[in-house]
């Protein structure tokens, strides 16, 4: 094998685009490893761990590290892929988007919502511009200090506005999916969610039952914490109560602070629109049972949720999750060791695990014979375009080593990855697959009893 390491100045692309370039190169015959990323400290350490000698580099520079039989051929393909990215950037610039800041864009008066997706340390200023312009804002960025979140939400509340996030991974507004978004049919259910993957689980199950959504308002994973106080959740509930297209509201959250949950329930009791609450860690139960309550309230039958099951023998459960709420839900159902790879500590300087499964695949490969890997795979726009492509070989290798794999597959029939195609590929590789995370956790829990 031959190696190539170089640092390129004056080239910038977002982490998701570069991750896909790395994956495309790694898939080439004769390429052992390919790292194409901005030269952040985390990415430099990753390249060093892979055995490359890395020269000094700045985060604003592009790092390329290749190990291949034919480095020249790999480099040629790299240049082609980077050229495609640059061409798309030039086309976007030439299409006529003059504003360079959120404040200047807001002055044009052509938009009615701001989506902030920049590194967390830069998100506050952009979101503040949106709030001061009187626009609702969705902050996709994570790693934003909670003090900044509190300030933004209090300012928005004073102006009658809504701040969704930080760490708001999913929203559906006016039929448009934002962030990680499943393909959902329109319908009567409005969702307020202090949880991205929690919202995706409930709305995907509803879609599989033939029920659609009006709006999905994510409010950020910390909104119902003691520090934040549920400011955005209460604002979102009132907004949906005024929405003529919403006949029933679902409120979803990771375990909330008790006093905040009480305050939110007081708001719920005053709404005209009926509300089903799914606050994990309380008496509300799990997300699948909450979905069943929604269907009952709408007079719709509760289906047998799709699954592709295999017997699982007794063994300790290891949760390797990309979704924080799904991880929490599973840990409340089954004992075991759980890691949320979507937590801020794992996403600083690298793509979210719903896009890049590298860390979870490494953890799966380290499990001991007899252990049960409990994992989520989340489909939809923004997520890995074909998660089974990378997961299936890793699952086959794990099962050959007597590791058992149970997967919660969150998605709809309309998602671009193909729900059934993904399920069948993962099942054929040796995994048990469930469209209900709670059922997947219980299946794994049965192995530990």
Query: CATH number for the domain including 110?
Result: 3.40.50.720
pLDDT for position 100: 67
Give the count of domains, the chain.
4
pLDDT for position 50: 86
Q: Which residues sit opposite 186 in a β-bridge?
A: 213
Residues 90 and 104 in one domain: no
Residues 290 and 338 in one domain: no
H helix count then E strand count, the chain = 16, 18
Of 132, 165, 198, which residue constitutes the final position of a domain? 165
Using CA atoms, how far residue 229 sits from 132, 157, 197, 222, 329, in Å, is 21, 12, 21, 9, 22
Residues 329 and 443 in one domain: yes
Phi, psi of 202 (to 5 degrees): -65, -45
H helix runs in 183-282, sequence order = 196-208, 231-241, 258-269
Residues 42 and 80 in one domain: yes
pLDDT for position 351: 80
Residues 26 and 102 in one domain: no
Q: Which residues sit opposite 163 in a β-bridge?
A: 137
Q: Which is nearest to 260 in space by CA: 128, 150, 123? A: 150
As averages over each run of 10 residues, the pLDDT of the chain (449 residues) reads 90 79 87 89 85 90 93 92 75 55 74 88 92 93 94 95 95 93 97 96 98 97 96 98 97 96 97 97 94 98 97 94 96 95 82 90 96 98 93 97 97 96 98 98 80
Structure tokens at 442: 């219980």
Residues 299 and 325 in one domain: no
pLDDT for position 23: 82
- We report the CATH number of the domain holding residue 66 as 3.30.70
pLDDT for position 449: 44
Rounded to the nearest 10°, the torsion over CA 295, 299, 304, 305 is -20
DSSP state of 190: E
* H or E element at residue 75: helix 71-94
The distance in angstroms from the start CA to the end CA of the chain is 48
* H or E element at residue 29: none
Of 94, 116, 133, which residue constitutes the final position of a domain? 94
Residues 90 and 102 in one domain: no
How many Å apart are CA 113 and CA 132, to the nearest integer?
Answer: 13
- We report the CATH number of the domain holding residue 314 as 3.40.50.261
* H or E element at residue 325: helix 324-333
Burial of 443 (0-12, 13-18, 19+ CB in 10 A): buried
Q: Give me the domain span that covers residue 111.
A: 98-165
pLDDT for position 447: 64
Residues 283 and 195 in one domain: yes
Residues 184 and 239 in one domain: yes
Residues 34 and 158 in one domain: no
Q: How many CA atoms lie within 13 A of 397 on its CB side?
A: 12
Residues 141 and 209 in one domain: no
Phi, psi of 265 (to 5 degrees): -65, -30
pLDDT for position 19: 80
Of 165, 193, 210, which residue constitutes the final position of a domain? 165
Q: Which residues sit opposite 67 in a β-bridge?
A: 3, 33
Residues 265 and 145 in one domain: no
Q: Which residues contact 206 (CB under 8 A, 6 or more apart)?
A: 184, 187, 189, 212, 213, 291, 294, 295
- Record the pTM: 0.84
**Residue 166: cis peptide before it, omega within 30 degrees of 0:** yes
Rounded to the nearest 10°, the torsion over CA 364, 368, 370, 371 is -50
């Amino acid at each position: 094998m031959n190696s190539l390491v170089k640092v390129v100045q004056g080239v910038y692309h977002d982490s998701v685009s570069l991750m896909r370039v790395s994956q495309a190169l790694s898939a080439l015959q004769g390429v052992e490893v390919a790292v194409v990323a901005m030269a952040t400290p985390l990415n430099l350490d990753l390249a060093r761990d892979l055995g490359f000698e890395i020269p000094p580099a700045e985060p604003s520079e592009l790092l390329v590290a290749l190990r291949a039989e034919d480095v020249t051929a790999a480099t040629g393909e790299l240049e082609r892929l980077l050229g495609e990215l640059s061409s798309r950037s030039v086309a976007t610039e030439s299409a006529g988007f003059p504003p360079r800041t959120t404040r200047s864009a807001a002055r044009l008066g052509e938009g009615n919502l701001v989506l902030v997706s920049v590194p967390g340390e830069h998100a506050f200023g952009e979101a503040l511009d949106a709030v001061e312009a009187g626009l609702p804002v969705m902050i996709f960025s994570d790693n934003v200090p909670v003090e900044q979140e509190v300030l933004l939400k209090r300012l928005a509340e004073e102006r009658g506005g809504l701040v969704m996030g930080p760490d708001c991974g999913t929203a559906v507004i006016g039929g448009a999916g934002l962030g990680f978004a499943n393909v959902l049919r329109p319908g009567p259910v409005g969702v307020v969610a202090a949880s991205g993957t929690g919202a995706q689980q409930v709305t995907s199950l509803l879609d599989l039952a033939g029920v659609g959504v009006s709006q999905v308002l994510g409010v950020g994973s910390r909104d119902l914490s003691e520090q934040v106080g549920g400011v955005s959740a209460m604002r979102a509930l009132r907004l949906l109560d005024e929405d003529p297209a919403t006949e029933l509201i679902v409120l979803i959250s990771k375990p909330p602070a008790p006093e905040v949950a009480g305050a939110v329930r007081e708001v719920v009791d005053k709404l005209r629109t009926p509300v089903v609450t799914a606050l994990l860690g309380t008496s509300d139960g799990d997300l699948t049972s909450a979905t069943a309550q929604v269907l009952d309230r709408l007079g719709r039958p509760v289906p047998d949720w799709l699954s592709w099951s295999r017997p699982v023998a007794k063994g300790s459960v290891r949760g390797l999750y990309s979704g924080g709420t799904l991880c929490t839900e599973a840990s409340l159902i089954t004992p075991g060791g759980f890691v949320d790879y979507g937590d801020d500590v794992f996403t600083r300087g690298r793509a979210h695990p719903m896009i890049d499964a590298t860390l979870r695949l490494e953890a799966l490969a380290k499990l001991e014979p007899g252990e049960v890997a409990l994992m989520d795979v989340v489909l939809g726009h923004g997520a890995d375009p074909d998660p089974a492509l990378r997961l299936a070989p890793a699952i086959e290798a794990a099962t050959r080593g007597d590791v058992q794999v149970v997967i919660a597959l969150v998605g709809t029939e309309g998602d671009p990855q193909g729900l059934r195609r993904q399920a069948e590929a993962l099942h054929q590789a040796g995994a048990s697959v469930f469209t209900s995370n709670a059922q997947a956790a219980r299946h794994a829990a049965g192995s530990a009893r």
